[in-house]
Amino acid sequence: MAHAQRMSRAGRWAAYLHDLTWVVLSVALAYWLRFNLGTIPEPFREGMVVIGGVALAVYGVLFRAFGLYGGIWRVASFPDLTRIVKTVAIGTMATTVILFYLKSLGGVPRSVLLMHPLLLMLGMALPRVGYRRIVERQPHRKRSIGQRTLIVGAGYTAEALLDSLTRHPAFEPVAFIDPDARGRGVPLRGLPVLRGMERVPRIIRDVGIDVVMVALPTIPPPVLEGLAEACAATRVPCRILPTSDELGVGPVDAARLRPVRVEDLLGRAPPALDRTLISGSLRDKRVLVTGGGGFIGSELCRQIAGAGVGRLIVLDNTEANLVQVHTAIRQVYPDVGLHPLLGDIRDRARMKQVFAEHVPQVVFHAAAYKHVELMEANPFEAVENNVIATRALADTADSVGCERFVMISTDKAGHPSNVVGATKRMAELYCQNLQRVSRTRFIATRFGNVIGSSGSVVGIFEQQISEGGPVTVTHPEMTRHFVTALEVAGMVLQTAAMGRGGEVFVVHLGEPVRIADLARKMIRLSGREPGREIQIAYTGLRGGEQLHDRLFLSGDTLVGTDHPHLLEAPSRPIEWKRLLFEIDRIEKSVIERDFSALTASLNFLVPEFTPDPGSPLAQRAVPLGG
pLDDT at 368: 93
Q: In the chain, where are the structural domains located?
A: 2-136, 147-260, 275-577
Q: Where are the alpha helices (DSSP H) in 483-514?
A: 485-498
Average pLDDT over residues 231-235: 82
Burial environment of residue 554 by CB neighbours within 10 A (0 to 12, 13 to 18, 19 or more)? exposed
| Rounded CA separation 19/28 (Å) | 14
Regarding predicted confidence, which is higher, 470 or 42?
470
Helix (H, G, I), strand (E, B) or coil at 26: helix
| Rounded CA separation 562/495 (Å) | 11
- For residues 496 and 362, is the Cβ–Cβ distance under 8 A? yes
> pLDDT over 70 for what percent of the chain?
83
What's the whole-number average pLDDT of the chain?
A: 81
Give the confidence band of 242 by pLDDT, cuts at 50, 70, 90.
confident
| Rounded CA separation 537/530 (Å) | 11
Reference 600, options 612, 591, 614, 588; nearest CA is: 588
pLDDT tens column, 266-300: 666 667 888 899 999 999 999 999 999 998 999 99
- Residue 130 predicted with pLDDT over 80: no
- If residue 445 lies in a helix (H) or strand (E), which one and from where to where? strand 441-446
Reference 485, options 275, 256, 302, 240; nearest CA is: 302
- Residue 342 predicted with pLDDT over 90: yes
Average pLDDT over residues 309-318: 94
472: left (phi over 0), alpha (psi -120 to 50) or beta: beta
- Residue 326 predicted with pLDDT over 60: yes
| Rounded CA separation 452/501 (Å) | 30
Do domains 147-260 and 275-577 share one topology? The answer is yes
pLDDT at 133: 66
pLDDT at 468: 85
Give the confidence band of 72 by pLDDT, cuts at 50, 70, 90.
very low
- Residue 147 predicted with pLDDT over 90: no
Average pLDDT over residues 392-412: 94
- Residue 555 predicted with pLDDT over 60: no
- Residue 6 predicted with pLDDT over 60: no
| Rounded CA separation 474/548 (Å) | 12
| Rounded CA separation 381/392 (Å) | 15
**Which residues does 69 contact at the CB level (< 8 Å), separation at least 6?**
12, 15, 16, 63
pLDDT at 129: 75
Residues, the chain, total? 626
pLDDT at 388: 96
Q: Where are the alpha helices (DSSP H) in 408-484?
A: 419-434, 457-466
Reference 606, options 566, 568, 579, 624; nearest CA is: 579
Burial environment of residue 401 by CB neighbours within 10 A (0 to 12, 13 to 18, 19 or more)? exposed
pLDDT tens column, 180-201: 755 455 667 667 788 777 888 8
Regarding predicted confidence, which is higher, 571 or 243?
571
| Rounded CA separation 41/500 (Å) | 71
pLDDT at 268: 65
Lowest mean pLDDT among 349-353, 414-418, 492-496, 524-528: 524-528
Lowest mean pLDDT among 227-236, 348-357, 399-408, 617-626: 617-626
pLDDT at 435: 92
Average pLDDT over residues 331-356: 94
pLDDT at 79: 53
Given the candidates 3.40.50.720, 2.40.40.20, 3.40.1440.60, 3.40.350.10, the CATH classification of the domain at 147-260 is: 3.40.50.720
Average pLDDT over residues 374-393: 93
**Which residues does 11 contact at the CB level (< 8 Å), separation at least 6?**
72, 73
Average pLDDT over residues 141-145: 47
Give the confidence band of 247 by pLDDT, cuts at 50, 70, 90.
low
pLDDT at 193: 81
Reference 261, options 239, 277, 278; nearest CA is: 239
Domain 275-577 has CATH 3.30.360.10: no
- What pTM does this model have? 0.67
**Which residues does 128 contact at the CB level (< 8 Å), separation at least 6?**
73, 76, 80, 81
Which own/partner pairs from 601-607 qualify as long-range (CB within 8 Å, at least 24 positions apart)? Answer: 602/422, 602/426, 605/425, 605/426, 605/429, 605/574, 605/579, 606/416, 606/422, 606/425, 606/426, 606/429
- For residues 108 and 169, is the Cβ–Cβ distance under 8 A? no
pLDDT at 194: 80
- Residue 230 predicted with pLDDT over 80: yes
